[in-house]
Structure 1
């Protein structure tokens, strides 16, 4: 088997037809794993064709059959011309701008890397979510959401991105949060060859989409003779030229109270009453009214210390946790017998170092952003 190289191939992407939907922005969605119930309701009400109707299969009681609904729906959208496929393969430059926040990079078909030589995970996955995404991919025969990868110093490839952005966009959309989205096509063979040669010099870290990438790999294992299963939809960002944000993901722990935290936290940990801000590696817990802030003299990320040290000491199973991208969502669930755990984000160098060493952080360790909007481009096999 030849040595793995970072490769992002052109593809014939699918997109919505503006005249068939209320607005291109109205049919898009954030990624599936950041969708709180209130957002799902808003998106479902926004347009009959919103992507949330594909990426979040409903009615868990139906078991695997619940994935049939989005598959039938996608087929209907294709049949009715609500979505259309690009006529020629291309790499797509995607730009998302909200205030000062900018996401900018290349979208294409990522060559999968089971050996982890050039596509590097940085956090663990939960098997049930991998299985969920795989079942959706198999039912729809599609990659509906791009994963997000970060690499450094893109040179020729990053120059090609910026050059494309100087022209007229192929697709434009605005979402309800005020974000502006633009897409350009790169189809010139010479430019594509330059991008391919440049990317082959690099490795990339999976910033967002570990469960979807794990599902890509599992699909490849199950369909080894299918060439289209050797790639998955991805967005690649040069984080030196277009920096990403890095935020924590908070936890809610059922069955845990503050007295247990005080009693069972190992010796050597500093414990202070209240929510002590300004400490870059603190772990704060609350029942919704009182706070405790914990700190250990360690260089390990807070999320690693929580999962490897504190949860076992408190007698908590990781399987009981829920994960929340905003502290407000976690706090809304906190009470005397269910604590919210506020984490601080790992540093970028901690993430890159662990990925390069083949060491993964616990599941849901980081939230990179901004995240690509779902529904502007997707891929079928």
Structure 2
């Protein structure tokens, strides 16, 4: 298999780029799924301030308005590291700021290597609990770490530039696996004790973190994970960045090092099943009336004056269905024309893949009927919140496309047979909070 070029391959579409970067060679091991302990970097509240004020949601959920609120809320908010352009700074400035915060004591390196137990709860109910560690990077062909979405070169270049300048993993990606074994028992046993940190954030969740430093527990986790495989639930572009950084070091002859792993949260889905939400689209340059007129050619259209009734009808729809918003009313699209649908689908995909709502949206509507380019400028995304998507479309004079969430069984089946669902098809959650623990790529920070 080819390695990833130092500057990343250019001129490739998302499918070819994803195949290149996920399939690139790497150090092969017989250990299977691996989550290694490391010396975590954490905020010191006495210096940095309230943890709720210095942490944030994952970077790709932060729009410009949210970034401005985070910048205004605290001088040490990790948005200044993770999205330096929001404050008008570059990647090198973010790297210098990280080192300055370490020197000032706003951030501190834990003394011993550890795995970290992370929990997100709402009103006393645990929604998410898993282990944070250094995920061993694997080529897709090894069948250990399974991507289920394609990635685009632009976001990978952005994260690679930042990761290189910071020499750190600034936020964990999120993976799920089926285990219910010794690792899961260690997670729950650890969470029965007093947490290392605990705070309520503005996302309505209580976030807690524990540290597992016992080498015997690390060995038990390693033994339990061996032979397992994990699905990337969230963070495909960051995992692709981990792989690109690994390839860069291999090309430089650096040998094994901390770049052979990436910061990740690993959740046992048999104990803590993830929530799978939809990712809605906002098309700012497509007028709602124009979108609707063209969609009528290939869909049955039903109008709804009220949003609640329209969303209920979408959820009850059988087969591919979408809700168009942005104008005065909302319109449900159902029953796509079979011939138009068949003509629009690319060859080489399974019947299950071709029936996905996001595949129908991308190829029949966005690429076919509406003839829009597939890029971040023409297509914006909103995770889970249908009302927010409709409101954003109305502000821009564009069109919102509200979707039903995919089924977990479909995502797993498609990933298991080597396919990937269309980009931005899934919103697994709850996503880990950014800023709870960071991972330095200095070898001294991983011993």
Instruction: Compute the TM-score of the two structures, normalised by the length of structure 1.
Output: 0.93
More helix by share: 2
Deviations, residues 306-355 of structure 1 (Å, cap 9, x unaligned): 01222122211111111112223321232495211111110000111111
Match of 2:334 in 1: 295
SS in 2 for 1:358: coil
Match of 2:85 in 1: 58
Do 1:287 and 1:340's aligned partners in 2 also have CA atoms closer than 8 Å? yes
Match of 2:52 in 1: 25
Shift of 1:231: 0.4
The 1-side partners of 2:335 and 2:32 are apart by 39
Pairing partner for 1:279 from 275, 296, 317: 317
Match of 1:321 in 2: 379
Deviations, residues 141-178 of structure 1 (Å, cap 9, x unaligned): 00001000011123111011011111222222332344
**For structure 1, which runs of at least 5 residues remain unmatched after alignment?**
none
Write out aligned runs for 1:1-381 (5 A): 1-3=28-30, 5-58=32-85, 66-99=90-123, 100=125, 102-116=127-141, 117-224=143-250, 225-226=254-255, 227-265=257-295, 269-274=299-304, 275=310, 276-277=313-314, 278-279=316-317, 281-296=320-335, 300-313=355-368, 314-319=370-375, 320-325=378-383, 326-335=385-394, 338-381=398-441
Do 1:153 and 1:238's aligned partners in 2 also have CA atoms closer than 8 Å? yes
Which segment is superposed worse, 280-289 or 110-119? 280-289
Which segment is superposed worse, 48-57 or 108-117? 108-117
Deviations, residues 47-71 of structure 1 (Å, cap 9, x unaligned): 10011111112169x8xx7111211
Shift of 1:282: 1.9
Which segment is superposed worse, 322-331 or 297-306? 297-306
**For structure 2, which runs of at least 5 residues remain unmatched after alignment?**
1-27, 305-309, 337-350, 442-447
The 2-side partners of 1:266 and 1:352 are apart by 33
1:258–1:170 distance in 2 versus 1, CA, 3 Å: closer
The 2-side partners of 1:172 and 1:261 are apart by 47
Shift of 1:3: 4.3
Count of paired positions = 378
1:101–1:247 distance in 2 versus 1, CA, 3 Å: farther
The 2-side partners of 1:76 and 1:172 are apart by 25
The 2-side partners of 1:258 and 1:44 are apart by 34
Instruction: Compute the TM-score of the two structures, normalised by the length of structure 2.
Output: 0.80
The 1-side partners of 2:289 and 2:56 are apart by 40
Match of 2:23 in 1: none
